[in-house]
Amino acid sequence: MKGKRVFVAGHRGMVGSAIVRRLASEDCEVLTVSRDRLDLLDQAGVRRWMADNKPDAVVMAAAKVGGILANDRFPVDFLQENLVVQSNVIESAFRSEVGKLLFLGSSCIYPKLAPQPIREDALLTGPLEPTNEWYAIAKIAGLKLCQAYQRQYGVDYISAMPANLYGPGDNFDLQSSHVVPALMRKAHALALSGGNNLEVWGSGTPRREFLHVDDAADALVWLLKNYAGDSHVNVGPGEDVTIAELAQAVASVAGVEATIAFDTTKPDGTPRKLMDVSQLFATGWRPRYALRSGLEQTYAWFLQHVEKGDVRLGAA
Ligand code: GDP
């Protein structure tokens, strides 16, 4: 990394901003560009920016992401935007002779009923989870595009498959967020009102593998520095919890004695997506946060920033 110019696409998002924080301790120059100066949907603009700035490496952390309901409601946005943005960045990087690129997939792009824990080679072995297949198809295409560039041109374009991420900078808009920020916001509302009815979508039985975004960023930078294989690499803690257990933990972190009310009119999504992280762990990498301490750190961030008014809350 020494002296290298690393472009982080999507630096305002939760993952991109964590990667920028993590790269600050590397001896490299971090390049970012704001959305009003460069729209990643604009192919000519991205080609021009890449040619003008000539990064040595690119981390592709820009993506349209959202929770289970947003994915279901806005299929065009999730499929179209992701396809276009990722193709623009990957192709422009290649045209500008970028030697290294890291693309991010997600554990939700594995088949819905993949054997657990999910190994890297389970990709494309079965039908997808219908609530997020739009996002999954786009991400699979991105992953395959990196692999195709590797095969055809021998460039070092790699992919990582992060677990469900949470942490500072997350989206706390209840309509579009993932489960951790949603439950934090709801628990916080109970803490303020003195109520105790914590509404949890679905049955509470699905299991999810949660990774703090700073741990994710640490693993991603590690891969950027050390990994050059043609398979994507799973990135997670290798442990999962039920949504009911998560809800109890979040309530406890917020200091709320909660009674959980399951709203079974909302979807459960895939029953389980625990990844096999033996490839990553074999390198010696381990996460620093246990789920409880990661939730505490994130809730503290939320309290601090909600006060300042710079948390993404969406419409009331
Ligand atoms: P997923 O991993 O793609 O399903 O993404 P989510 O983080 O949106 O949802 C994970 C699980 O948490 C699903 O089973 C949801 O039904 C459940 N869940 C429970 N309460 C909530 C909530 O308030 N918001 C969201 N997004 N999910 C919730």
* Domain membership flag for residue 251: no
Ligand 1 centroid – CA 201 distance (Å):
7
Alpha helix ranges (H) inside the chain: 14-23, 43-53, 68-73, 75-76, 82-95, 133-153, 179-193, 213-226, 243-253, 278-281, 291-308
Ligand 1 centroid – CA 268 distance (Å):
7
Ligand 1 centroid – CA 67 distance (Å):
6
* 262 in Cβ contact with 203 (< 8 Å): yes
Task: State pLDDT tens for residues 194-217.
Answer: 999 999 999 999 999 999 999 999
Q: Three-state SS across 50-82? A: HHHHCCCEEEECCCCCCCHHHHHHCHHHHHHHH
Ligand 1 centroid – CA 267 distance (Å):
8
Rg (CA), the chain: 19
Q: Which amino acid is at 173?
A: D
pLDDT at 232 over 80: yes
Strands 233-235 and 156-162: parallel
* Domain membership flag for residue 191: no
CATH code for the domain in which residue 11 is found:
3.40.50.720
CA distance 146 to 136: 15
* Domain membership flag for residue 264: no
* Domain membership flag for residue 246: no
- Of all protein residues, the one whose alpha carbon is nearest to atom 9 of ligand 1 is 179
How many domains are contained in the chain?
A: 1
Q: Which residue has the higher pLDDT, 86 or 68?
A: 86
Q: What is the pLDDT of residue 27?
A: 94
Task: State pLDDT tens for residues 281-301.
Answer: 999 999 999 999 999 999 999
The share of the chain scoring above pLDDT 90, in percent, equals 91
Work out the pLDDT band at 316, boundaries 50, 70, 90. low
Average pLDDT in the 209-227 region?
97
* Domain membership flag for residue 260: no
Tell me if residue 118 falls in helix, strand or coil: strand
Task: State pLDDT tens for residues 111-167.
Answer: 999 999 999 999 999 999 998 899 999 999 999 999 999 999 999 999 999 999 999
Contacts of 196 (CB under 8 A, 6+ apart): 190, 256, 257, 258, 259
Give the count of beta carbons closer than 10 Å to the beta carbon of residue 193: 10
Residue tagged active-site, from 110, 135, 149, 289 = 135
> Where in the sequence is the domain holding 163, given as residue range(s)?
4-169+210-237+270-291
* Domain membership flag for residue 189: no
Average pLDDT in the 58-71 region?
91
Please indicate if the annotation marks 167 as binding a ligand.
no
Q: Return the ligand 1 atom nearest residue 269 CA.
A: 4
Average pLDDT in the 28-48 region?
97
Is residue 135 part of the annotated active site? The answer reads: yes
Best probe residue, ligand 1, of 179, 185, 205, 262 (max atoms within 8 Å of C-beta): 179
Instruction: Please give the structure tokens belonging to residue 296.
Output: 């505490």
Instruction: Please give the structure tokens belonging to residue 37.
Output: 């100066």
Task: State pLDDT tens for residues 260-269.
Answer: 999 999 999 8
* Domain membership flag for residue 30: yes
Identify the CA nearest to 315 among candidates 113, 173, 141: 173
Ligand 1 centroid – CA 60 distance (Å):
25
CB of 202 within 6 A of ligand 1: the answer is: yes
Strands 57-60 and 29-31: unpaired
Contacts of 191 (CB under 8 A, 6+ apart): 254, 255, 256
Burial of 308 (0-12, 13-18, 19+ CB in 10 A): exposed
Average pLDDT in the 206-230 region?
96
Instruction: State the average pLDDT for the chain.
Output: 96
Q: What is the pLDDT of residue 22?
A: 98
CA distance 133 to 108: 9
CB of 17 within 6 A of ligand 1: the answer is: no
Please indicate if the annotation marks 52 as binding a ligand.
no
Q: What is the pLDDT of residue 243?
A: 98
* Domain membership flag for residue 204: no
Please indicate if the annotation marks 123 as binding a ligand.
no
- Of all protein residues, the one whose alpha carbon is nearest to atom 10 of ligand 1 is 179
- Of all protein residues, the one whose alpha carbon is nearest to atom 19 of ligand 1 is 201
Average pLDDT in the 224-250 region?
96
Q: What is the pLDDT of residue 71?
A: 85
Q: Return the ligand 1 atom nearest residue 200 CA.
A: 20
